[in-house]
Structure 1
Amino acid sequence: MDAKEFLQLYRAGRKVFSNVDLVGADLKAIDLHKIDFSHASMSKSNFANAKLCRANLSGADLSYANLNSADLHRANLRHANLKGADLRKADLRGADLRGANLSWANLQETLFEGAQMTNANLYNAKN
């Protein structure tokens, strides 16, 4: 599915996109709060400044994604792959990151207050 098709479906009211393939999609600065992207493939996608608060991103592949300044507060990122992701200035307050892979991610100025991070992989993450 390309970004244009996704946006048409989303704007028509669809909120569940589990297992969707949006690799490399440009979805910057879009309000996607409470969306279900569980187990979706979204590596190398651009979510800079996007609103993904309370989103279900459990098991999603967001490796090398641009999440710079994204609003992910209270998002479910349990077991998500965020390897090499750009999370600079992202809001992850209250997010569930249990078992998430944050290795090699850029976490500079990222907000983590109240985030659950049990068993999260932070190998070589930049903070």
Structure 2
Amino acid sequence: MDNEEFLEQYESGRRDFSGLYLEGIMLGNVSLKKIDLSESVLAAAQISRTSFVGSNLSKVNFEDVQMEKVLFENCNLREVNLLKASLTGSISLMQ
């Protein structure tokens, strides 16, 4: 699935993207509220100025991902793979 198809499906109301292979996807300036990306592969992705609020990111493979100014608010981040990931300016807010 490419960037455009992914964002179109999200905008049309789909929230369950669990178990998908999204290696190299490029996401910028988007809000992905309550998305389920659990057990998905986003290795080598480029994610900037993206907001994950109330999202399930458990067991996501973010290996070698470049993240800049990404917000993780009230997210499930259990067993996330961040090996060699760059998280410049990113924050996690938990309640």
Cross-structure match for 2:72:
77
Q: Which residue of 1 aligns with 2:21?
A: 26
Q: 1:61 maps to what in 2?
A: 56
Change (3 A) 1:43 1:17: farther
- TM-superposed CA distance for 1:98, in Å, is 1.5
- State the match for 1:38 in structure 2: 33
TM-score, reference length from structure 2: 0.82
Higher RCO (C-alpha 8 Å, min separation 6): 2
Runs (5+) with no aligned partner, structure 1 = 100-118, 120-127
Task: Give 4+ residue runs of structure 1 displaced > 2 Å after superposition.
Answer: 6-10, 14-19
Q: What SS class does the counterpart of residue 52 from structure 1 fall into?
A: strand
State how 1:1-127 maps to structure 2 within 5 Å. Answer: 3=1, 7-8=4-5, 10=7, 16=11, 20-99=15-94
**Do the aligned partners of 1:18 and 1:38 also contact (CA within 8 Å) in 2?**
no
Residues 44 and 17 (structure 1), Cα distance of their counterparts in 2 relative to 1, 3 Å cut: farther
TM-score, normalised relative to structure 1: 0.64
* Runs (5+) with no aligned partner, structure 2: none
Separation of aligned partners in 2, 1:94 and 1:17? 30
Structure number with larger C-alpha Rg: 1
Aligned AA for 2:67? Answer: L
- Structure ranking higher in strand proportion: 2
CA offset digits 1:78-124 (Å, max 9, x no partner): 1111100101111112112021xxxxxxxxxxxxxxxxxxx7xxxxx
Residues matched between the structures, number: 95
Distance 1:20 1:84, change over 3 A: same
